[in-house]
A and B are shown apart, each in its own frame.
Chain A
C-alpha cells in the first residue's frame, strides 16, 4: 500500500537509529562535561556563597564590549557576586532601579538621573567616565553636514533637507540627548524622513547603515561596529555632544552591598587608570571612554 511504503521510507533502519542515539548521547555528555567542568572549577577556587548582582546599564556600554572586560575583572576582586548585566536604555534602567529590579545602574541620561535622585530612588551617584556622541551618516552626505561644529546646526540641516534620520525612540540616554539637540535647533522632527527604531544602539546603527540615513550614536558603539558599517563620522566635537556616564546605587536594591562594592570598585584609581582608560585602545586605535571619577559631579 502506498501509505505504508511512504511510512516505511521515513522509518530509519536499526543501524541509523543506533548511530543517531550514539551521536545524541555523545553530544549530551560533552555539553554536560563542559558545563560541569566549568562549575567545579569555579567552586574549587571560590568556596564562597554566590549572590546575584543585577547591573542595569545602557546598550551603548554593552555593545561596545566594555562589560566583557569589566565584569571578569570585578569578579576577580569580588568572586562572590554573579553579575547579571541587563542592557536596556537608560530610561528603562532607571525604571528598573525604581522597582529594585536592578541593584546598581550605569547610565548616561543626566536629566533623568537627577529626577531619579531627587525622587529618592537612589542612594549615591558617582561620575565614572565620559566619551562623546557623534552624528554619523552616509558618505554621500545629502544634507551636507560634514565638518559642521555645532550639532544643532547639523540637525537643522538634516531636517531642512528631509534626509532620512533614525531615532532610537526608546527613552535611552542617547535618545534623550537627541531630543535636546532637536530642541536646541528649534526643530520638531516629523515627516516620513524621521523614523524611529525603538531599539538599541547596535541595531539602530545597522538599520541606519543599511538605509543610508543619519543618526546620533555614541562613539564607543560606533567604533565597535565600524568594520561592518559604511557610515562615516560627519559631526563631532561639539560640547553639546558630551556624554557623561554615572554609576548609581539603588535604594530598593535586593543586593545593596553588591551595588556599593561595584560603585566603589569602578570608581577606584586602578580600575579607572588601568581598565577604563585603556579599553579599546589596541582594538580601535583610541580608547573608547575617558575615566573621570571624582573630577565632576
Chain B
C-alpha cells in the first residue's frame, strides 16, 4: 500500500508546487477535449435533432448509422485520422500530424457521434403534442425546434457531458495522432492520458498518479454539476 501513498503524496506535491509540465499537460487535455466537444455540439446537436424530427427516404439507415456512434471504438477513429493526416495520406501535405489540431480532429470524431446520437434519442422522446401545440399557437419552425430542444435539455446536457468524458479520457487515438511530444520539459502535445502512459513505462509513478487524480477530480466535479443541474430542472418542472 505504501507505493500508493508515496505516489499520492508526491503527486499532491507536484500539483501544489505548480509544476509547469504538469499544468501544461492538464491545460492541453482540457483545451483539446473542450474544443472537440464544442465542435461536436455545433455539428452533433443539429444532426441529432434533425434526424429526430424529420423523416425522409433512408431515414432508418441514417438513424442506425448515427447510433453506431455510441459504440464506435475510439482507437479506430485514431487510426483513421492518423492515416488521413500522415505524410502518405490525403491530407499529409498539411503537416497536421502530432499537433494539438490533429488531436482535436480525432477527439471531434469521437465526441460528435456521441452527442448526435444522444441528442437524437432525447429530442425524439419529446412528446409530439409539444410541437403541435407550439405550431398551433403560431410558432415558426425555428421557434418550435428551439422549444423542443429546450424540452430535451436534460438529455442534451448528459449527451454533451458524455461526449466530453469520451474526449478527455481517450488514450489510444490521441497517442496515435498526438505523439506525446515535449520540448525542454515543456509540454507540446501530451495530454493527461497519453502522458500517464509514457510516465508509467518510465517508472515515474508519482506524476502519473498526479494526472490520474486530476482526471478523477475533473470527472467528479463535472458529474456533480451535471446532476445538480438536472435535479434543478426536474424540481422546477415538478413545481410548474
Contacts and interface: CB of A to CB of B under 8 A. Distances in A.
Q: Answer whether A and B are interacting partners.
A: yes
Interface of A: 1-3, 6-7, 9-10, 88-89, 91-92, 95, 169-171, 190-192, 194-200, 203, 207, 209-212, 230
B170 to A, nearest CB: 17
Nearest to B190: A198
Contacts of A203: 179
Nearest to B132: A2
Contact of B183 (A7, A195, A209): A195
B98 A92 contact: no
A203 B197 CA distance: 13
Given A2-B128, A198-B190, A88 B182 contact: no
A195 B182 contact: yes
A196 B181 contact: yes
A196 B202 contact: no
B202 A92 contact: yes
Nearest to A59: B201
Contact of B124 (A6, A88, A92, A171): A6
A9 B63 contact: yes
B203 A198 contact: no
A199 B180 contact: yes
Given A2-B128, A3-B128, A210-B87, A92 B181 contact: no
Nearest to B195: A198
A171 to B, nearest CB: 5
17 contacts: A1-B127, A3-B124, A3-B127, A7-B124, A9-B63, A10-B67, A92-B201, A169-B182, A191-B183, A196-B181, A197-B181, A198-B190, A199-B179, A199-B198, A210-B87, A211-B97, A211-B98
Contact of B202 (A9, A91, A210): A91
Q: Which residue among B63, B128, B131 has the maximum number of chain A CB atoms within 10 Å of its CB?
A: B128
B17 interface: no
B60 interface: yes
Nearest to B87: A210
Given A170-B202, A195-B183, A210-B97, A9 B87 contact: no
A164 B227 CA distance: 48
A184 to B, nearest CB: 21
A211 B181 CA distance: 12
A2 B133 CA distance: 14
A196 B183 contact: yes
Contacts of A92: 201-203
Given A171-B202, A210-B87, A198 B180 contact: yes
Contacts of B201: 88-89, 92, 170, 199-200
The 10 closest A-B pairs by CB, nearest first: A198-B198, A2-B128, A6-B124, A95-B203, A92-B203, A88-B201, A196-B182, A170-B202, A207-B179, A195-B181
A2 B125 CA distance: 8
B188 interface: yes
B240 interface: no
Nearest to B59: A9
Nearest to B3: A99
A1 B198 contact: no
B230 interface: no
Contacts of B67: 10
A211 B178 CA distance: 12
B126 interface: yes
Nearest to B51: A6
Contacts of A209: 87
Interface string B125-157: 111100100000000000000000000000000
Contacts of A197: 179-181, 198
A95 B202 CA distance: 9
Contacts of A198: 180, 182, 190, 195, 198-199, 202
Q: Which residue among B63, B182, B188, B190 has the maximum number of chain A CB atoms within 10 Å of its CB?
A: B182
Contacts of A207: 98, 179, 181
Q: Which residue among A3, A191, A198, A230 has the maximum number of chain B CB atoms within 10 Å of its CB?
A: A198
A32 B21 CA distance: 46
A3 B125 contact: yes
Contacts of B190: 198
A210 B86 contact: yes
A209 B179 CA distance: 12
B239 interface: no
A235 to B, nearest CB: 23
Given A1-B128, A3-B127, A195 B188 contact: yes
Nearest to A192: B183
